[in-house]
Amino acid sequence: GEKQFRVVYEWNVLDFAFTNEDERAQALYSGHYIPKNVIISDCKPFANRLYLTIPRMLPGVPATLGYVVRPENNGRTDPEIVPFPSWEMNERGNCSALQFVQGVAVDKHGIMWVVDSGRTETLTRDHVVCPPKIILLDLKRNGTVMLRYQFPESVVPAGNNYLNKIVVDDAFGGFAYITDNSGADPGIVVFSRRLTRSWKVRENNSMRAARNAVRFAVNGTELNFSIHIDSIALGPYYNPNLSPDQPVPDTLVNSQNYERNVYYSPLSSYHIYSLPASLLRDPEFNARATPRDILEAVVDYGRKQSQTDGMFMDNQGVLYYGLLGEHAVAKWDSYKPFTEKNQQIIAKDATYIQWVDSMGIDHEGYLYVVVNRLHNFVAGRLNPLEVNFRILRAKTGALSYVYTPDNLFNSDGKFLYSGASGEPF
């Protein structure tokens, strides 16, 4: 299989699967579609499709969620994006449709959890402001809506949030952990599917931009970004009552092995942190907790080489993450200490890997990585004559974190599944 990263898709500018040429011409003429204003952010594979988010940062973005067919089954390397679940569900200004989607997650049942922050044109002034929401779409039934939930103003204020990335946790009927990197009130928004309720967990030491990390350079472009909590990942189950060097009993049952870490990092930070999932999931604790209570539960793993936008955990406890200033993708086995030796760069290229955004792993163990030159895009310096957006792919030998085994545990923490063939890196 492929060990190295390969470019499977690349685009100078992104295009959509309009019904016909007249429709495209009309969209271009009316400003409904402005090619240089379209960027992809997240990619999540499922079955024969690669789902993409297209955040409406600028005007002229006709759809904010779509898909392309998997590379094996696609004749082009720059396919048109098909709006998903439909054109209607992507209508700008219709608050029951999707307005601004940056992060999505697909659970092990094939349900896509779509986070819509509700505010369009985040880089300019002429916004649509809709209430922020989460919509669950059944990918096995072509995007049938399973659930709609509107966040209350007290948790996620309309027009004043930046819901960004999401991970899903199967526990207790399903939870989502969502990063809100709004300037005013950053934190992790927690949503319980069973309770249809949400709340926000704040921690100013670990979730806000670090002063020493607001300046960095990508391919010679000097940047000055002060951006709060952004990337997020969900680790494997473990027993918090056992220290790492204790021998693990043979018959460790599910109930003893109940904790998971939620890893996160502000974009403007050199550190990776975590909080226990059980703490995030407890609304009563979060309602009464003092800032110190939450700070005491934070683990700081230490320093990485550069800032990170996207990260993704596999089902064997390996975390993949971008290093923006290094033009690189790295990995860390979260069962090991976060030392320099255990942080391995697996791909590095100053031309091809400018701004690693989000990632996903498919059912064959391929890791997909979106590279989108976001630094050029936000500065209005996207050059339509060169490749700006790439999707890279490499074989990992593991599956997505949503397939984490939850009823077995061993000291290696290594599980192989049928379907996840191929060697690790």
Task: Give 34-81 pLDDT, tens digit per residue.
Answer: 999 999 999 999 999 999 999 999 999 999 999 999 887 667 899 999
Instruction: Give the confidence band of 2 by pLDDT, cuts at 50, 70, 90.
Output: low
What's the confidence (pLDDT) of residue 241?
Answer: 81
Length of the chain measured in residues: 425
The owner of tokens 């290696």 is 412
In terms of C-beta distances under 8 Å and separation of at least 24 residues, what long-range contacts does 108-112 make, across chains too?
108/170, 108/400, 108/402, 108/403, 110/46, 110/47, 110/138, 110/139, 110/140, 111/136, 111/137, 111/138, 111/139, 111/146, 112/44, 112/46, 112/51, 112/136, 112/137, 112/138, 112/139, 112/143
**Beta carbons within 8 Å of 278's beta carbon, 6+ residues apart:** 258, 259
State the average pLDDT for the chain: 91
Q: Are 36 and 376 in contact (CB under 8 A)?
A: no
> How does strand 221-224 pair with strand 215-218?
antiparallel
Give the tens place of pLDDT for each residue, 324-371.
999 999 999 999 999 999 999 999 999 999 999 999 999 999 999 999
Q: What is the pLDDT of residues 152-186, one digit of tens each?
A: 999 999 999 999 999 999 988 999 999 999 999 99
Higher pLDDT, 418 or 111: 111
The answer to whether the CB of 371 falls within 8 A of the CB of 350 is no
Taking the CB of residue 381, how many other CB atoms lie within 10 A of it? 10
Cα–Cα dist 84/264, whole Å = 28
**CA triplet 149, 152, 156: central angle to 5 degrees?**
100
Q: What is the predicted pLDDT for the residue at 327?
A: 96
Q: How confident is the model at residue 418 (pLDDT cuts 50, 70, 90)?
A: very low
Of the ranges 42-56, 393-407, 411-425, which is most confident? Answer: 42-56
Q: What angle do CA 114, 54, 58 make, to 5 degrees?
A: 125
Once rounded to an integer, what is the mean pLDDT over residues 304-325? 97
Q: Are strands 65-69 and 144-150 parallel, antiparallel or unpaired?
A: unpaired
Go through the domains of the chain in sequence order and give each one's CATH number: 6-242+255-395 (2.120.10.30)
Q: Tokens standing for 341? A: 């030796």
**pLDDT (tens digit per residue) in 253-291:** 545 678 999 999 999 999 999 999 999 999 999 999 999
* Residue 422 contacts residue 1 (beta carbons within 8 Å): yes
Helix (H) / strand (E) element for 167: namely strand 163-169
pLDDT value at position 245?
63
Estimate to the nearest angstrom the gap between the alpha carbon of 184 and the chain centroid.
21
Q: What pLDDT shows up at residue 17? A: 98
**Predicted TM-score (pTM) of this structure:** 0.93
